[in-house]
Structure 1
Amino acid sequence: MYKRILVPIDLQQDDRARRLGLNRAVELCRFYHAKLFALTVVPDMGMPIVAHYFPEDAGDKIVAEAETMLHEMVDSYIPDDIEVQHLVAQGSIYRRILRMAEKVDADLIVMPAHRMKLQDYLLGSNTAKVVRHAPCSVLVVRCDNDDCYELYEQNG
């Protein structure tokens, strides 16, 4: 059913939260013999007036560092039997996830969900925006406490 699975990864997230989404994506890749697309999104410099205060090559350095971190993380957590492609995008998180899902023709996006904060209810989280606008199915892997992470690690 699924042949191309996109998993957005927040490199700033704690290790357990990253593994939650990755573990579920790996399970699905194995079950469906799907290809995994590991994506991380880094911020851009925004408006030109903001970019003016950074060195000219700052954006390239940020992307290069994110790519290195993504490769290291994928090498640590994704088994060798899973075909994986590394993707780094720059810009608005949910927009880049949606754009990359279309670009790689993903038929499933696997996203871990965090505890909701007040600003998420007012502005909407990236996960909620992806769910509303995705061109494909979205699996939201939710876990709200440490017990859930421990249980998933034992059973997952």
Structure 2
Amino acid sequence: MFDNILLPIDIHHPESWNKALPLALEAIGKDGQLHILGIVHDLGSALVASYLPPDFEKKALQHMKNDLGEFAKKQVPDHAKVMTHVGHGHVSETILKAAKKVKADAIFMASHPPDELRTFLVGSHANKVVRHAPMPVMVIR
């Protein structure tokens, strides 16, 4: 059992949470806290950002926050203690920062087999998190 689990997800890709969420809920038991993290990608380029509306980032973060709240209401049982968090930036770095911030004692995250290239939490992100996380990381395929 863990007290605080961080679960990074992409709500638009059920494969990032459909197996990981039940396992994380089981691992926190009755008294643990589940922290669900949604990440708004860093655009990575000032040139790209210059073509977007000035408030694009602010709206994207708010939209993610609202979507995570709805996700938690629909997917997490009422008895579970859950908090949602929105991160912004590079995926693996944001996951590691969030884990530290919430004092996670474990990270549960989905990853696809190496031969697929289509989900948000791709193998390279999981690999970086596993290599750099100071706490256990459960990678669910």
Match of 2:98 in 1: 100
Give the aligned CA root-mean-square deviation in angstroms.
2.0
The 2-side partners of 1:12 and 1:105 are apart by 26
Alignment of 1:112-151 (within 5 A): 112-117=110-115, 125-142=124-141
Q: Which has the higher helix share?
A: 1
Identity of aligned residues (%): 36
Cα deviation, residue 21, structure 1: 0.8
Partner of 2:84: 86
Counting matched residue pairs gives 138
Offset at residue 10 of structure 1 (A): 1.2
Does structure 2 retain, via aligned residues, the 8 Å contact 1:7–1:38? yes
User: In structure 2, how many angstroms separate the alpha carbons of the residues matched to 1:75 and 1:5?
Assistant: 18
Q: Matched residues in 2 for 1:24 and 1:99: separation?
A: 22
In structure 2, distance between residues paired with 1:106 and 1:118: 29
Structure 1 stretches of 5 or more lacking a match?
143-156
Q: Which string of whole-angstrom CA distances, capped at 9 and with x for unpartnered residues, describes residues 76-111 of structure 1?
A: 111111111110011100000001111111100001
Instruction: Give 3-state SS (helix, strand or coil) of 1:63's partner.
Output: helix
Report the TM-score when normalising by structure 2.
0.89
TM, length-normalised to structure 1? 0.81
